Structure 1
Amino acid sequence: MAVKLIPPADDAYNYPLLIKQLLLSAERYAGDNEIVGGNNGQRFSYAEFVERVNRLANVLTEAGIKEGDTVAVLDWDTPRYLECFFAVPMIGAVLHTVNVRLAPEQIVYTMNHAQDDLVLAHDDFLPLLAQVKDQLTTVKSYMQLTDQAQAPEAPLETIGDYEGLLAGAMTEFDFPDFDENAVATTFYTTGTTGNPKGVYFSHRQLVLHTLALASTTSMNDNMQLMQSSSVYMPITPMFHVHAWGVPYVATMMGLKQVYPGRYEPATLLKLFVSEQVSFSHCVPTILQMVLSSEQAKAIDFSGWQVLIGGSALTEGLAKAALDRGIQIYTGYGMSETCPLLSTTWLPRNAADFDTSEQVQTRVKTGKPVPLVNMRIIDTNGRFLPHDGEAMGEVVVRTPWLTQGYLHEPEKSEELWANGWMHTGDVGSIDSGYTLQIKDRIKDVIKTGGEWVSSLDIENLISQHSDIELAAVIGLPDDEWGERPHAVVTVREGATVDHDAVVQFMQNFIDDGVIEKWAVPDTIKVVDEIPRTSVGKIDKKLIRSQLQSD
């Protein structure tokens, strides 16, 4: 059946969903809010910020960047980076947010694969680029980013330093209209094998994601993360899924924003206090690092709202955060999903919950956000019931999912098999639409014919009062197929051994929470649990280290 279309008036404006439209409201709502650079003390009003975006657009155009070109950025979290979030895609170019924590050879691979034309690089990364510039096959020029009042001499030829170039640029730029499906950003997600994979997002996708995220963070009475009075500081790198897309929301809303530069606990805590930060987001290991620092002991965290994603929020960390006054929540998504898919949903009477109920609610992966269609499927691709018991792979549809992997059609087809994006996560969905992720498909442990969730075991171990962080992996076993093994970090001054953890886990066995075969065979105390380039627990490396012991 053909749908009925209403033809527009001859003079009707076909409003494209472009990133420039997000900037329209920034000055309207900002009042005297500022955008702050914690690394160098810069402070900009929103009027100054918009002017700087215009100046940067003129600088990029003068440098020869045109529609369809790719501009790479290697920087810490700064107001400069936020300006790039807008100016680069707004002129029709593609912003490549380079993961600066990758190995040098992987950085070279991603920059060549993305076909970068211009590179904006902080002083800290210029020596690396000077060493590998002959390996970069498409890069035509470099721009220096510095936090110093006077730019130091660069180890390779550049078109100039960022602030100097902006100072000499025109303050107005006529940003064009173009197809809203034009690619706006690209970045690379690392897997367990092979080279990083490039994902990409259009203007339309980023605008829709921004609107959905804005509504999600304010529609629940008990989770008001972003309001006009909020002070936002990301603790998720801006190269990682656009800092989860929150900077676009914060700018659209005109919030005070604080960008801390390089992540160091002392700096983060100093800014938290001095700038009165009310909302942040990060992976669990980063929050654990901040809370474990010496400076954190004297700080009152009451009123700080923190959204956790990237890895599972354990009950142990959730309780530790709540005990310090932090209102903590779970968000779920992945690089391929822009990233938001679901968040914690607190019922109206959540304030009446005791600590145990608060913790159990906040660690759940949450309800799908507006416009997200989420299902679980079995190994044959059949939909499973939403009864809270059936477990299957989580598959999704929503307007802001990457349409594939850059230049990799076969992997793109796998990602989008049967018209649903495959997350690679195993979970259950209950009758109230609440998702609970059980594990990554590759991390589920099959022991003695039974499936055991590594996340469930980590969650239980984390509730031991002397344990800070736990990671569980499966290793081959001749008799059982696989057996769980754990590495843990302990709180300062505490002593924990294998027997103590096994004795603690016996409580859960006695209560029928887990079976005895879910207790790890080995529990190794380590100084630090390995992390990936974006701060997640690196189970691939842990598995390799334990196998070589």
Structure 2
Amino acid sequence: MTTQLITPTQSAYAYPLLIKHLLNTPLIYSPDQEIVYRDCFRYDYKTLGKRIKQLASMLKAQGVKPGDTIAVMDWDSHRYLECFFAVPMMGAVLHTVNIRLTSEQLIYTINHAEDDIILVNEEFLPLLESVKDRFETVKKVIVLSDKGAIPASSIEFSGEYEALVSDAVPEYTFPDFDENTMATTFYTTGTTGLPKGVFFSHRQIVLHTYGVMAGLTAYKSQANISSADVYMPMTPMFHVHAWGMPYLMTLLGAKQVYPGRYEPETLLKLIVGEQVTYSHCVPTIMNMLITSPSIKDVDLKGWKVIIGGSALSKGLCKEALGHGINLFTGYGMSETCPILTLSNLKPHMLEWGEDEQVEIRCKTGLPIPEVQLEVVDVEGNPVAHDGQTPGEVVTRTPWLTQGYVKSGEQSEELWKDGWLHTGDIGVIDQEGYLRITDRLKDVIKTGGEWISSLELEDIISQHEAVNEVAVVGITDEKWGERPMAMVVLKEEFQGKISEKDIQEFCMTFVEKGQIPKYGVPGKIVLDAVIPKTSVGKISKKDIRGTYGENLN
């Protein structure tokens, strides 16, 4: 095909999509808006702009050059927000380190990413000290302290963050460079093997920011946000850039509140005291807040929260709505920057009753602008959008990681046939909503038939006594696999509910024709502690490892 290419004027400027340009608008529109870190720091956007320049000046004085990699180990803070901008704006790479990794995983990611400098919160020093003798590329370590002091440590520090930034020159000219320059990297922990590194360019982060902005602001729905919202993340900033939301909320010039360590009482206090209206988190964090005794004294009406990372059950959704929380689902992966879909209600659904809306709020959602998403069969052919025919979810957008760091074979597997393969099984209905029915590795095959662990979790979550549930397939001599459920009961029901009660509740869905009889869990473990991953998701790998024996 022959197309007509534009020949630019010789003196025309090719404007690159760079993270630094996301700061232009808020510094004009909202220079006096606040950024808050717990009860420790409070400053305006003018100060944010100044401190970003000071941080860049400080890092340059420490020897940082374009192409170097700067690792950050911190709680959600104003410091992290400054790093989100200053490091990539210098042409360096920001490595957001998962602070919940094991020591072996940590040193692997530090060396694999070839970190040059590490900025570390003093609370994580014991972890870093345990691996410091195995650094391969690290040249300097800078400590982050809310107290502004350098703690005793076996690590030799180049200084304390706040002191170094405060003393730095507040002038720095951020250069132009190719928009495809790597901006960030981080590591995703899979079910097997070592963590895999993903990476994103300036262009991808800028386009993701605008795509998410369109998805959350341009369409009439229950979920609209604007510059008038007060934002507080409850997803770690090391996890896929806190879903990219700090970039978006900075672009909008909204008030931002960073809570540090996630503690229920602190989160609720900040929500009320700072009048937070918009957040995002995994289901376990929302469940932690809803079950906190402190919630009884808090008015949460008008608080919009996106749930991601794991499926939003109808039970949790109804509990949250009962507290006035405007809860809905978002979907994506570490490899997708991350947001692909949002469960926005279409205008004709806004007048629906709660039960009808819950059905939509708990779906995986509609693709946001610039996301091409399909469900395909084993041969890669799209299946019918009838809400019934399942297949693997594959996607294309401008902001997908182009591969795994130093891992060509895994990268090719991720990008088979030119589509990014999510490893999720789902269906798309006639309204265009995606619903993830399971992970490929979590589907339960019993008696030759497939059962969705997510569907069983959703059903069990609706029992009035259930606080949290996880379902996995366990080896069974007769059936190949059978479902097993781990159930955490609400405090007032503990000791009053039996395994049989849960099974009988599941049978009511068998009678309605929603699940087959063999979908009722053959084993139910009550009030066990459900293991979680480093980012708060249910760890089905660990459950299978513990309960992998036969049910018979």
TM bucket (normalised to shorter chain) is over 0.9
Q: Secondary structure at the match of 1:137?
A: coil
Alignment of 1:363-378 (within 5 A): 363-378=362-377
Quote the RMSD (CA, aligned, Å): 1.2
Give 1:493 deviation, angstroms. Answer: 1.7
Of 56-65 and 220-229, deviating more is 220-229
Give deviations 1:415-452, integer Å, cap 9, x for gaps. Answer: 00000000000001122221110000000001111110
Deviation at 1:31, TM superposition (A): 5.1
* Paired residue secondary structure (2:379): coil
Greater alpha carbon shift after TM alignment, 149-158 vs 191-200: 149-158
> Does structure 1 conserve the Cα–Cα contact (< 8 Å) formed by 2:486 and 2:528?
no
Residue 152 of structure 1 corresponds to: 151
Q: Secondary structure of 2:110's partner? A: helix
Amino acid at match of 2:476: D
Residue 14 of structure 2 corresponds to residue 2 of structure 1: no
C-alpha distance in 1 between matches for 2:357 and 2:430? 20
Per-residue displacement from partner, 1:344-396 (whole Å, max 9, x unpaired)?
Answer: 12021333221211211100111111011111111122221222221000000
Structure 2: which amino acid aligns with 1:50? Answer: G
Alignment of 1:331-346 (within 5 A): 331-346=330-345
Superposed displacement of residue 486, structure 1 = 0.3
Deviations 1:75-128 (A, max 9, x none): 000000000000000000000000000111100000100000000000011232
- Tell me the distance in 2 between the aligned counterparts of 1:544 and 1:17: 45
Contact 1:72-1:98 at 8 Å conserved across structures: yes
SS of equivalent to 2:49: helix
Residue 536 of structure 2 is aligned to residue 496 of structure 1: no
Q: Secondary structure at the match of 2:163?
A: helix
- The residue matched to 1:220 in structure 2 has which SS? coil
Name the TM-score, length of structure 2 as normaliser: 0.98
Structure 2 residue 131 is matched with structure 1 residue 143: no
List aligned pairs for 1:229-308, cutoff 5 A.
229-308=228-307
> What does the per-residue CA deviation read over 1:137-168, in whole Å, with 9 as the maximum and x for residues that have no partner?
11010011001143433441111101111111
Pairing 1:524–2:498 present:
no
Q: Which residue of structure 2 aligns with residue 202 of structure 1?
A: 201
Which runs of structure 2 are paired with 1:66-81 in the superposition (5 Å)? 66-81=65-80
Deviations 1:193-216 (A, max 9, x none): 000000000000000000001111
Q: Is the deviation greater in 426-435 or in 208-217?
A: 426-435
Deviates most, 176-185 or 495-504: 495-504
Deviations along 1:490-531, one digit per CA (max 9) or x if unpaired, are 111213221111111121111111111100001111253111
Secondary structure of residue in 2 paired with 1:312: coil
Question: Hey, what does 2:85 align to over in structure 1?
Answer: 86
Instruction: Indicate the SS of the match to 1:80.
Output: helix
Secondary structure of the residue aligned to 1:64 is coil
Partners of 2:223 and 2:422 in 1: CA distance = 28
SS at match of 1:193: coil
- Distance (whole Å) between structure 2 residues aligned to residue 68 and residue 94 of structure 1: 6
Deviations for 1:243-288, whole angstroms, at most 9, x for unmatched residues? 0000000001110000000111111111111101000000001100
**Structure 2: distance between partners of 1:220 and 1:519:** 40
CA distance in 1, matches of 2:377, 2:215: 29
- Alpha-carbon deviation of 1:298? 1.6
Q: Say which is worse superposed, 115-124 or 213-222, in terms of deviation.
A: 213-222
Does structure 2 retain, via aligned residues, the 8 Å contact 1:220–1:346?
no
Aligned mates of 1:11, 1:254 — CA distance in 2: 33
- Aligned residue for 1:19? 19
- Residue 544 of structure 1 corresponds to 545
Contact 1:126–1:155 at 8 Å: present in 2 too?
Answer: no
The runs of 5 or more residues in structure 1 that have no matched partner are none
Deviation at 1:131, TM superposition (A): 2.6
SS of match in other structure, 2:98: coil
Residues 163-191 of structure 1: per-residue CA shift (max 9 Å, x gap): 11111111111000001001000000010
Q: Equivalent residue for 1:36?
A: 36
Q: Please tell me whether the aligned partners of residues 98 and 188 of structure 1 are also in contact (alpha carbons under 8 angstroms).
A: yes
Separation in 1, partners of 2:362, 2:223:
17
**Identity over aligned residues, as a percent?**
53
2:109: which partner in 1? 110
3-state secondary structure, aligned to 1:12 = coil
Tell me the alpha carbon deviations over residues 402-425 of structure 1, each in whole angstroms, 9 at most, x when there is no partner. Answer: 000000000000000000000000
Contact 2:40 2:146 in 1 (8 A): no
Q: Is the 8 A contact 1:123 1:154 kept in 2?
A: no
- Relative to structure 1, is the Cα distance of residues 186 and 370 closer, same or farther in structure 2, using a 3 angstrom cutoff? same
- C-alpha deviation, 1:27, in angstroms: 1.7
Distance 1:155 1:258 in 2: 33
The amino acid that maps onto 1:33 is Q
Give the aligned partner of residue 62 of structure 1.
Answer: 61
How far apart in 2 are the matches of 1:48 and 1:63?
A: 22
Gaps of 5+ in 2: none
Deviations 1:523-548 (CA, angstroms, capped at 9, x unpaired): 11125311100000000011111126
Q: Do 1:20 and 1:90's aligned partners in 2 also have CA atoms closer than 8 Å?
A: yes
Query: How far, CA to CA, are the matches of 2:58 and 2:527 in structure 1?
Result: 49
**Compared CA separation, residues 515 and 243, structure 1 to 2 (3 A):** same
* Contact 1:461–1:501 under 8 Å retained in 2: yes
| Counterpart amino acid of residue 516 in structure 1 | K
Match of 1:167 in 2: 166
CA contact (8 A) 1:28 1:254 kept: no
Contact in 1 for aligned 2:227/2:249 (Cα 8 Å): no
Is the partner of 2:548 in helix, strand or coil?
helix
